[in-house]
Chains A and B, each alone.
Chain A
Amino acid sequence: MRLSVVLRYVGMVMLFVALFMLLSAGISAVSGYDSAFYPLLLSASLTTLLGLFPMIFVEKTEQLTTKEGYCIVVCSWLAACVVGMFPYLMWGGEFTLVNAWFESVSGFTTTGASILNDVEALPRGLMFWRMGSTWIGGMGVVMFALVILPSLGRNKLTLSNVEMSTLAKDNYRYRTQIVVQILLVVYVGLTALSTLCLKMAGMNWFDALCQAMSACATSGFSTKNLSIGFWNSPMIETILIFTMAVAGIHFGVIYATVTGKRNNIFRSEVTRFYLLMLLAGSVAIAVSLWIAGTYEGFFTSFRYAAFQFVSLVSTSGYATADTNLWTPFAIIVLIFGSLVCACAGSTAGGIKVNRLVIAGKMLRARLKQQQHPSAVIRIRLDGIMQENEVTNSVMVFIVAYLMLTLAGTVVSTMCGVDLLTSFSAAVACIGNVGPGFGEVGSLDNYSGLPVLSRFVNTLLMLFGRLEIFGLVQLFFIKWWR
């Protein structure tokens, strides 16, 4: 492991983060040099220095090992979260050290959970930085560095293989130039389209851009205390439902659909399952709310149910209603959605639909095997036979995911937090969803949790974002040799 090479690439990512800080400082200047201007400018300068330093010392390297690739990605994420705290800490307000760390990690991991009681008190520059961090995180810090710095030759593939979920690689069997193209077309295109639609639906340009950035990153950070409920507009909700649902689909599949390629949305088994799950979940919750009389009429129930369910499954976490007041059935369905989440290869976190589909098929195969012990049963996904290694890793991942969720719940309950809040916070954080239930409900925030619980939840966010094993490997000394 060449630590100096790792530092050089992490430095590149720092420079990219600094660029966004500078952009936010620009927004601050345009907004009449609000109180976030100097914190952002100072943070950008310090981050630039931190990023430039290893780049001056270490010479460009063409070949990276897989270990180095892993290390670059994980360290980039951690470093981005650390420098992302700078503007918050310098600005002050509600941001203590733990709160700033929470907000920064929540942004970069696209969780969208907040500790802010009054989001609207933030100056525009800092608000934009919050959205910017989540937008960078949505695509993956390293992937963005690759878009900006297209002179890395073969290194790109090594990094992108590490960055993405194992299951996401199938649709990225393109040349690396195409991967960059996919990211640009889908992510930037979706953000631009969403911004335009939200503006036309009645938001101002700033709110539309911020909401679109957050929705495409499936983060759920909002510029308003009441989240999307502030606008109370079915049109805005429809646009965001579409954006969030699309952002939860594998980017390669979206690209294939847009460019008329074979492996498109209509042929993808996982995407079909995902879309069906969104529809079925929304209808089930709507019926439950309608029968319980929570809202008047089925369509009003469906409006709120669809928004909340899509919001949680896509791991955005926007809110238009207080889900704490919903029926127990609706809450269970929403928790299920928060556990499964969207597709691999998207900006979403969670267990992911792909793994759920494979786990379901494994279960069926196991039952068949019981009936026909000598049969050779293959598991296929989208017509591709899945190796044993893949299916085993799926099960290991699900077990590890649930164990970490349990551990997070235990720590929070030890801090005196009630069971529903502890469990839903752990599920929401490891899945990078954002809102949970109880004290951390859709219209609440994490400021009420004890410091230790908040910190543990940030670790869960990082575990979720880095698909658990990426972060775990960093702690093995043997791995560093």
Chain B
Amino acid sequence: MTGLRRRVAIGFLSIVCLLFFSGMISLFELSHLSRDTGDILKANKRNIELAKRMLDAAHEQNVALIHLAVFGDRSYDSVCRNRMESLENTLAVAQSEALDKSFLDSLAFATTEMRLLTDNFLASGDGTPFRTAFAPLVQADSAALASRWYQSDYETLYGRLTSAIKSYMTSTQSSLVPRAEQMKKNAYRAVTPVLISLAVMIAIVLMLYYFMSVYCVNPIVRMNKSLGDYLAFRTPFAAKAEFKDEVLGLREKIEALIALVKQSGKTQ
């Protein structure tokens, strides 16, 4: 005879389960979303940091090369080599971390070219590269030749290298569109199960209300009315209780009580 209690408990437990369920889903999906957002921001920051390091290295190497070529200051040899190595190392790090390596292709190509040009220059400390390149102007002084080499060969390459680094720097922005699309999809996935759970919960609450009315409230209201009629007008107590639960037990007890009252009335 614990039917009613069990039913009500199950009803509320189902709602609790659904609340927990939808809460867990939203928690899981939102943490997923927050992780994705964090990843994007982190990737963006890292990208800028690496690009800055590469730009710095390229710039310092450029300054060192000017000192070498224009002023003939050989002490900048090591600076030039170190900066070149630093540029290559940073590029290697960027390549290992990049999700889409296609953005680094032109940068890698420009770096390789720069490395070849620099190595070539450093290998011939007497200015051979300019003399070979500018044979018709061989009479001119080496400073003029060096600046001409710098302008025609190096500066073009330097420009290409820095523009490749800059486009790498903005690559995160370019890859942001598909990532944002993915995030939008994830957000949709985060919201939909919760909405569906809520819809199911509403359906269950409505059913619970209906069942409570049918199995609990209505029989008690009927019994109350019937008992009132019995007390007021002595009409027979006839409340309907269809299911084997506490309500049926109550009805049987009321009937037994009425029978007892009738019996005691007769004996008096």
Contacts and interface: CB of A to CB of B under 8 A. Distances in A.
Interface in B190-208: 192-193, 196-197, 200, 203-204, 207-208
A59 interface: yes
Given A3-B210, A59-B243, A46 B197 contact: yes
Nearest to B195: A89
A59 B197 CA distance: 26
B25 to A, nearest CB: 7
A7 to B, nearest CB: 7
Contacts of A56: 7, 10
A46 B211 contact: no
Given A56-B10, A57-B7, A90-B193, A4 B204 contact: no
Contacts of A43: 196
Interface string A73-98: 00000000000001001101000000
A49 B211 contact: no
B204 A50 contact: yes
A15 to B, nearest CB: 14
B17 A49 contact: yes
A53 interface: yes
B196 A46 contact: yes
Given A54-B207, A56-B7, A57-B215, A86 B188 contact: no
A42 interface: yes
Nearest to A50: B200
Contact of A42 (B193, B203, B207, B211): B193
B189 interface: yes
B18 interface: yes
Contact of B14 (A39, A49, A89, A92): A49
Q: Which of B10, B196, B214 has the most CB of A within 10 A?
A: B196
Interface string A31-71: 00000000100110110011001101111000000000000
Given A49-B18, A59-B243, A90 B203 contact: no
Contact of B214 (A4, A46, A49): A4
B185 interface: yes
A58 B207 CA distance: 11
B57 to A, nearest CB: 43
B210 A4 contact: yes
Contacts of B193: 39, 42, 90
A57 B215 CA distance: 9
A243 B191 CA distance: 42
A90 B204 CA distance: 20
A59 B25 CA distance: 33
A365 B194 CA distance: 61
Nearest to B10: A56
Contacts of B243: 59
Contacts of B214: 4
A92 B185 contact: yes
Contact of B211 (A4, A86, A92): A4
A89 B196 contact: yes
Nearest to B185: A92
Contacts of B11: 53, 57
Interface in A142-169: none
B21 interface: yes
Contacts of A39: 193
A7 B207 contact: yes
B128 to A, nearest CB: 61
A49 B204 contact: yes
Nearest to B204: A53
A324 B202 CA distance: 46
Nearest to B197: A46
A59 B204 CA distance: 17
A59 B6 CA distance: 13
Contacts of A90: 189, 192-193, 196
Nearest to A52: B14
Contacts of A59: 243
B196 A86 contact: yes
A419 to B, nearest CB: 36
Contacts of B196: 42-43, 46, 86, 89-90
B7 A50 contact: no
Q: Which one of B7, B21, B189, B192 has the greatest number of beta carbons of chain A within 10 Å?
A: B192
Given A59-B243, A90-B193, A53 B14 contact: yes
Nearest to A56: B10
Interface string B14-34: 100110010001000000000
26 contacts: A4-B210, A4-B211, A39-B193, A42-B193, A45-B21, A49-B14, A49-B18, A49-B200, A49-B204, A50-B203, A53-B11, A53-B14, A53-B204, A53-B207, A56-B7, A56-B10, A57-B10, A57-B11, A57-B215, A59-B243, A89-B192, A90-B189, A90-B196, A92-B185, A92-B188, A92-B192
Interface of A: 3-4, 7, 39, 42-43, 45-46, 49-50, 53-54, 56-59, 86, 89-90, 92
Given A39-B193, A49-B204, 15 more contacts: A3-B210, A4-B210, A42-B193, A46-B197, A49-B18, A50-B203, A50-B204, A53-B14, A53-B207, A53-B208, A57-B211, A86-B196, A90-B189, A92-B185, A92-B192
User: What 6 A-B pairs are tightest by C-beta distance, nearest first?
Assistant: A57-B211, A46-B200, A56-B10, A90-B192, A89-B192, A92-B188
